[in-house]
Amino acid sequence: MAHPKLTLKNGVITGSGKISMYGDIEDVRSGGDNGVGASGYRHVDNPYAPYCSLPIEYWEEFNLQPFQEVTVEYEGRQVECFLDDKGPGGTPEADERLVDTCPSVHKRLRCTTDSIVEIFIPLGRIVPLKKRC
pLDDT for the residue numbered 102:
86
Structural domains in the chain plus CATH codes: 7-131 (2.40.40.10)
Cα separation, 99 vs 86, in Å, equals 9
Q: How far apart are the first and last CA of the chain?
A: 35
Cα separation of 13 and 24, whole Å? 27
The predicted pLDDT at position 123 comes to 94
pLDDT truncated to tens, each residue of the chain (133 aa)?
A: 577 889 999 999 999 999 988 766 565 565 566 566 667 777 667 777 898 999 989 999 999 999 999 999 999 999 999 998 887 777 777 788 899 998 889 999 999 999 999 999 999 999 998 887 7
User: Model confidence over 4-16: pLDDT tens digits?
Assistant: 889 999 999 999 9
pLDDT at 87: 78
CB-CB neighbours of 93 under 10 Å: 13
Q: What is the pLDDT of residue 1?
A: 55
pLDDT at 68: 95
Residue 104's nearest CA partner among 72, 128, 129 is 72
